[in-house]
């Protein structure tokens, strides 16, 4: 695992210097096609979600919490953070399959956590399907525990 170095936070260029070959910065519109194809490759594009619409909505609310990780200028990781004044939220965490188990998932999570801490966020919540055991193992490895709550949802817009 790559250790985290002290880093400079900025919302525009590299947001967190981590001791890894992956650079992390905020999403820009030029990343759109690469990001959607990464999500597709990682199985995150599902019929009930429209990824392009999800990106457009995110760009209207705390866009600086939507991060991409780059290796040699190619998008290899994403995370979409959120904060509503009480809890931080994580969505669209993805690392390109060929680049998994190199510490990039942990690195991009550390970057978004640093930005959430900077906003005063005291706790992060996230939802993972119970059947997604490898992702649950990933989150456990980076310090997330089961809150033993039932996740409820109500769709307000049908994509």
The first and second tokens of residue 10, run together, are 């900025």
Residue placing its CB nearer to ligand COA in the complex, 25 or 102: 102
Binding of ligand COA by 98 (CB under 6 A): no
CA distance 1 to 127: 24
| Residue numbers 53-82 binding ligand COA by CB under 6 A | none
Binding piece for ligand COA, criterion CB under 6 A, among 10-18, 22-30, 91-99, 143-151: 91-99
Residue placing its CB nearer to ligand COA in the complex, 85 or 125: 125
CA distance 58 to 54: 6
Residue placing its CB nearer to ligand COA in the complex, 83 or 144: 144
CA distance 89 to 81: 6
Binding piece for ligand COA, criterion CB under 6 A, among 51-59, 110-118, 136-144, 151-159: 136-144
Helix (H), strand (E) at residue 32 = helix 32-41
Cβ at position 15, least distance to ligand COA in Å: 17
| Residue numbers 18-37 binding ligand COA by CB under 6 A | none
Binding piece for ligand COA, criterion CB under 6 A, among 6-14, 45-53, 92-100, 115-123: 92-100
Strand partners, 23: 70
Nearest to 11 by CA among 63, 58, 64: 64
CA distance 111 to 133: 24
Selected from 57, 101, 118, 119, the binder of ligand COA by CB under 6 A is 101
Helix (H), strand (E) at residue 55 = helix 51-58
Instruction: For residue 120, give the 3-state DSSP assignment.
Output: coil
Residues engaged in binding ligand COA (CB under 6 A): 1, 42, 44, 93-95, 100-106, 128, 132, 134-135, 137-138, 141
């Amino acid at each position: 695992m790559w250790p985290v170095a002290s880093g400079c936070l900025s919302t525009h260029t590299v947001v967190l210097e981590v001791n890894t070959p992956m650079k992390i910065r905020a999403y820009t519109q030029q990343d759109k096609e690469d990001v959607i194809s990464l999500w597709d490759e990682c199985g995150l594009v599902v019929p009930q979600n429209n990824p392009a619409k999800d990106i457009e909505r995110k760009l209207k609310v705390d866009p600086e919490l939507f991060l991409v990780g780059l290796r040699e200028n190619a998008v290899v990781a994403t995370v979409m953070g959120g904060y509503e004044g009480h809890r931080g939220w994580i969505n669209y965490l993805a690392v390109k399959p060929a680049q998994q188990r190199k510490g990039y998932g942990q690195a991009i999570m550390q970057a978004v956590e640093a930005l959430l801490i900077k906003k005063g966020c005291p706790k992060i919540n996230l939802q993972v399907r119970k059947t997604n055991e490898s992702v649950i193992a990933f989150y456990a490895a980076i310090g997330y525990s089961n809150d033993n709550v039932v996740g409820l949802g109500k769709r307000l817009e049908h994509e």
